[in-house]
Amino acid sequence: MTGQLSPKDTRGYMRGSAKNRMIIMAHPDDPELSCGGSIALWSERGRVCNVIVSCGEKGTWDRKASPLLVAEKREKEARKAARYLGVERIVFLRHPDGEISSVKTLKIELAALVRKLKPYTIVTHDPWSRYFHPDHRATAQAVIEAIMIARDWHFYPFLLEIGLKPHRAGELLLGITENCNHVVDITTTYRKKIRAIAMHKSQLGQLPDWQKRVRDRVASDGSLAGYKYGEGFFKMRV
């Protein structure tokens, strides 16, 4: 599921444990929708941290709803789903929903978290997906740049001053994708994925036929590798 772990790479950086994974997604329900089955597997064997860039406060069709209360509700739903899947830590960056931009501040926030949490695997959206949401694309682009900022000594020297030394991640997984080259077998955790998605109660009305759509996708991704259910990614070494 992950590449070979070398205790120390040739540039002298300690790699994080291959069991450390960081899921960086735009909205509170994205981790479960794109990789909930994989998270359930990964958290059994290692440490998973979720980073949610926006609270998704505009994610309602109720025109009378207060975006502040929607945000609060969605954070609670995300915490519950993350806890259920065994996620160790969840961080909310609270950027504005629908307006996430790959701005310098977001890249530095993410780079600081990568240096602190030391993931081997980073999972985000596929910024080249045809079916993209602008927030997903902006988040993914910021993640790709943050990996570089986190890795090199000369970006933002203040990071060193606050004790955050460079960290080189090992691999980047991009999903949901049309360019799948890596499938995680989630046959045993598929039900957990469904239950975790169902915890995002505020969103289910806006996801018509969600159970069928999720099942169709994981069946289709799984079939690429001969699994009953799978979650597909475009995997890159970084």
> Which residues of the chain form contacts with Zn ion (CB under 5 A)?
26-27, 30
Smallest separation (angstroms) from Zn ion to the CB of 26: 5
Closest CB 205 distance from Zn ion, rounded Å: 16
Tell me which residue has its CB nearest to Zn ion. 27
Count of Cβ atoms closer than 10 Å to residue 202 Cβ: 19
What minimum distance in Å lies between the beta carbon of 28 and Zn ion? 8
Q: Is 12 left (phi over 0), alpha (psi -120 to 50) or beta?
A: left
Helix (H, G, I), strand (E, B) or coil at 29: coil
Least Å distance, CB 58 to Zn ion, is: 11
Closest distance between Zn ion and the C-beta of residue 162, in Å? 30
* Choice between 46 and 56, CB closer to Zn ion: 56
Residue 208 or 226 having the CB closest to Zn ion? 208
The structure tokens 């993931």 sit at: 119
Cα–Cα nearest to 112, from 170, 79, 64, 151: 151
Strand extents, DSSP E, the chain: 20-25, 47-54, 89-95, 121-124, 171-174, 182-185, 230-237
Taking a C-beta distance cutoff of 8 angstroms, is the pair 89, 43 a contact? no
Give the CA-trace dihedral at 178, 182, 188, 190, to 10 degrees. -20
Nearer to Zn ion, 26 or 159 (CB): 26
Nearer CB in complex with Zn ion: 94/165:
94
Sheet holding 20-25, edge to edge: 89-95, 47-54, 20-25, 121-124, 171-174, 230-237, 182-185
User: Based on CB atoms, which residue is closest to Zn ion, 33 or 186?
Assistant: 33
Q: Minimum distance between the CB of residue 101 and Zn ion, rounded to whole angstroms?
A: 15
Nearer to Zn ion, 9 or 72 (CB): 72
